[in-house]
Amino acid sequence: MIEVHYFARYREALQCESERVEWQESFAQLNDLRAYLISRGGVWAEVLGERNLMCARNEELCMPDEPLVDGDQVAFFPTVTGG
Amino acid sequence: MSIRVQAETFDPGAETGAMHAANVGVGAVVTFIGYVRDFNDGLDVSGLYLEHFPGMTEKSLAKIAQEAASRWPLLKTNIIHRVGRLEPGEPIVFVGTASAHRQAAFEACAFIMDYLKTKAPFWKKEDTPEGSRWVEGKSSDAIAAERWK
* Cβ-based contacts of A8 with chain B (< 8 Å): 51, 123, 125, 134
The residue of chain B nearest to residue A79, with distances taken between CA atoms, is B137
Please state, rounded to an integer, the average pLDDT across all residues of chain A.
Answer: 97
Q: What is the pLDDT of residue B22?
A: 78
* Contact call for residues B62 and B68 (beta carbons, < 8 A): no
The residue of chain A nearest to residue B62, with distances taken between CA atoms, is A60
Q: Which residues of B touch A (CB under 8 A)?
A: 34, 50-53, 55-56, 59-60, 81, 92-93, 113, 116-125, 134-137
Short-list B123, B127, B133, B131, CA closest to B54: B123
When pLDDT is averaged across residues B60-81 and rounded to a whole number, the result is 98
- The pLDDT confidence band at residue A4, using thresholds 50, 70 and 90, is very high
* Cβ-based contacts of A7 with chain B (< 8 Å): 51, 53, 121, 123
Short-list A69, A77, A19, CA closest to A48: A77
pLDDT tens digit string along B82-135? 999 999 999 999 999 999 999 999 999 999 999 999 999 999 999 999 999 999
Q: Chain A, 10-49: which have a CB under 8 Å from a chain B CB?
A: none
Domains along chain A?
2-77 (3.10.20.30)
Q: What is the pLDDT of residue A2?
A: 98
Q: Between B41 and B89, where is the model more confident? A: B89
Q: Where are the alpha helices (DSSP H) in A23-78?
A: 30-38, 42-48
Measured CA to CA, the distance from residue B53 to residue B98 in angstroms comes to 28
In chain A, pLDDT over 90 holds for what percent of residues? 100
Short-list B3, B50, B30, CA closest to B102: B30
pLDDT tops 90 at residue B9: yes
Question: Is A75 an interface residue toward B (CB < 8 Å)?
Answer: yes
Please state, rounded to an integer, the average pLDDT across all residues of chain B.
Answer: 96
pLDDT tens digit string along A42-79? 999 999 999 999 999 999 999 999 999 999 999 999 99
B135:A5 CB<8 A: no
A75:B118 CB<8 A: no
Question: Is A63 an interface residue toward B (CB < 8 Å)?
Answer: no
B121:A77 CB<8 A: yes
B93:A7 CB<8 A: no
In chain B, pLDDT over 90 holds for what percent of residues? 93
pLDDT tops 90 at residue A39: yes
User: Which amino acid does the sequence have at B54?
Assistant: P
